[in-house]
Structure 1
Amino acid sequence: MKKITLATALLTATLAMPSLAADYVVDTKGAHASINFKVKHLGYSWLTGRFNKFSGNFSYDENNVAASKISINIDTASVDSNHSERDKHLRNDDFLDVNKFANAKFESTKVEDLGGNKLKISGTLTLQGINKNIVIDAVKIGEGKDPWGGYRAGFSGTTKISMKDFGYKMDFGDISFDLHIEGVRQ
């Protein structure tokens, strides 16, 4: 009888323990993550592109979403609009000024669970040496074991920033971002 009582006590204690957030590294090597953008071109059409080099990590616990955190570093020189001459212009001091500001960074300050796998991620974006608070409207896509013996979690999100808020010499309005992040649990 004592063995059953001890086993029951251990099981109860294990179930009562708070789950801990898992730590993930963003999978950029497998091209399972992307940072895409679009901005109006002279007000006539859309210019679309992406950043090819970035890295980051996040922690996530579906039982305590508020404890989640995300940090992303972006190599601004990796901007790619599928047009090499335009990319040179985007890298100069009219826009990204990559010689002075080689990196941009997002650091979350708050993650809110809105239900139905929807999240509101608040944080600080550092771009052009300027820090601004932004909000990312995100959705958890899913999580689970992968075919290589690992465990992954994936999210998608959108946000907008105003070019004038980050001191761009040329201002075409808002830049919209589509973010796709898949992480491998460490």
Structure 2
Amino acid sequence: MIKKTLAALLLGSVLSSGAAIAADYKIDQEGQHAFVNFKISHLGYSWLYGTFKDFDGTFSYDQNHPEASKVNVTLRTASVDSNHAERDKHIRSADFLNSSKHPKATFTSTKVVSTAEGATDITGDLTLNGVTKSIVIKADFIGMGDDPWGGYRAGFAGTTTLKLTDFNIKTNLGPASETVELTISIEGVRQ
């Protein structure tokens, strides 16, 4: 009887502490704890940085079985912000994101693999500008635990590089600007 009681208390303690169990998370973009940023070369002379301010999504994560994880993100392309109103208007135009015709970009994971370096490769389908392509996000687990408001959170950061012509963006910005690097930092609240 004592062994059963101790085992039940231990299991209850592990579950209530939020230890590594499979869970679903909502990305905390409203609290501004998530970012989708980009970087592209400007004529090969400097870097142009920007962000997307409006997106949401979910992920499932089990620290013991990361390969079972799933990610779904929807981003509003008109929310692009490069800190220059006229440039943002151009980025939203048909020359680039074509936000009026394709107001959303989506990412849905199809496979998650842990690498020998301790990172995670998240393969998935990115739909951008009406084109769907498989991409790989190199992600790192940042941490997880209780928050001050009674919730439980997990966070990740990742990067990927996109070739503009793969997504039907044909505006020629020169050879130094054929790709854009995305940096994604997300914190999710366990549901």
What TM-score, normalized to structure 1? 0.89
The structural deviation recorded for 1:44 is 2.6
Give the equivalent residue in structure 2 for 1:179: 184
The more displaced of 164-173 and 108-117 is 108-117
Q: Which runs of 5+ in 2 are unaligned?
A: 13-19
Measure the CA separation in 1 of the matches of 2:168 and 2:184. Answer: 23
Give deviations 1:91-145, integer Å, cap 9, x for gaps: 0000011010000011111111225641111111100110111111110000000
Give deviations 1:135-163, integer Å, cap 9, x for gaps: 11110000000011100000000100000
Measure the CA separation in 2 of the matches of 1:151 and 1:117. Answer: 23
Contact 2:153-2:189 within 8 A present in 1 as well: yes
How many positions carry a matched residue from both structures? 180
Give the equivalent residue in structure 2 for 1:110: 111
The more displaced of 168-177 and 64-73 is 168-177
Give the equivalent residue in structure 2 for 1:75: 76
Q: Secondary structure at the match of 1:50?
A: strand
Sequence identity of aligned pairs in percent? 52
Q: 1:183 to 1:13 in 2, by over 3 A?
A: closer
CA RMSD of superposed structures (Å): 2.0
Structure-to-structure mapping, 1:49-60, within 5 angstroms = 49-60=50-61
Q: Secondary structure at the match of 2:78?
A: helix
Q: 1:12 to 1:147 in 2, by over 3 A?
A: closer
1:38 aligned onto 2:39:
yes
Write the letter of the residue equivalent to 2:89. K
Contact 2:71-2:108 within 8 A present in 1 as well: yes
Structure-to-structure mapping, 1:34-183, within 5 angstroms = 34-114=35-115, 117-171=118-172, 172-183=177-188
Q: Which runs of 5+ in 1 are unaligned?
A: none
Q: Secondary structure at the match of 1:29?
A: coil
The structural deviation recorded for 1:50 is 0.5
Give deviations 1:73-102, integer Å, cap 9, x for gaps: 000000000000000000000001101000
The more displaced of 111-120 and 141-150 is 111-120
The more displaced of 150-159 and 165-174 is 165-174
Q: Secondary structure at the match of 1:134?
A: strand
Q: 1:6 to 1:49 in 2, by over 3 A?
A: closer
The more displaced of 169-178 and 123-132 is 169-178
Q: 1:152 to 1:44 in 2, by over 3 A?
A: same
The structural deviation recorded for 1:42 is 2.6
Write the letter of the residue equivalent to 1:181. I
Q: 1:12 to 1:90 in 2, by over 3 A?
A: closer
What TM-score, normalized to structure 2? 0.87
Q: Secondary structure at the match of 1:121?
A: strand
